[in-house]
Amino acid sequence: MSQSDSFIEEVTEEVRRDKFYAFLKKYGWIGILAVVVLVGGAAFNEYNKAKNRQQAEAFGDAISAALGADNAAARADALATVPAEGDAQVIAAMLRAGELEAAGDPKAAIAVLAPLTADDMLDPVYRDLAVLKTAMIGAADIAPEDRIAQLAAIASPGAPYRLLAEEQIAAAQAEMGDVGAAIEGYRALSQDVAASSALRRRAAQMMVALGADPAAE
């Protein structure tokens, strides 16, 4: 290689190096920022996971402690003090309603469930369960017509507790004296392939109790 060619190559290499450094100086901060964001995002994700895990463990411990109380009334009082947010708060409310019912205070249990039944933003799995529990807990105090109206909203196809709601509707119809409608409701349940064997058996037993033949079409 001649001295001229060597010189040209060195100059070319120097120009490339200068362009590279100029590029880094102009755009290098983007790469640095990307690394910072990536590392920071990973760190935040791990922190968030650890925080959620700690909250879940604390909630579980608080629930266990509350349910360890001597009687239903004490358990209900303890559950009222459990710190919780979101789904955990809903679960604590459901448990408290059950303990209040066991303590012989259905009205208080229904009052605990009332905000859940009225929350349209709540997951239907929770809201519909609150409606179902309200109808069952309040069977002695809520008129059957009102229970049917409440349950009809959660008995639509695809609803998570449709079959249980239909069972309660049939029970309310029987209570009202509308035996024909109750029998048809129980018959539909006894033939529903989506119903559990226990539910189909209960429906057949109720048909017999109402004077109908479960095997009849």
Mean pLDDT of the chain: 85
Instruction: Name residues whose C-beta falls within 8 Å of residue 72's C-beta, 6 or more positions apart in sequence.
Output: 99, 100, 102, 103
CA dihedral of residues 40, 42, 47, 49 (deg, nearest 10) = 150
DSSP structure string for 136-185: HHTTTTS-HHHHHHHHHTT-STT-TTHHHHHHHHHHHHHHHT-HHHHHHH
CB atoms within 10 A of CB 64: 9
**Confidence band for 25, pLDDT divided at 50, 70 and 90:** low
What is the pLDDT confidence band of residue 188, given thresholds at 50, 70 and 90? very high
With cut-offs at 50, 70 and 90, classify the pLDDT of residue 29.
low
Is pLDDT of 7 > 50? no
Residue range 35-55: mean pLDDT, rounded: 72
The pLDDT tens digits for 141-175 are 899 999 999 999 999 999 999 999 999 999 999 99
pTM of the full structure:
0.72
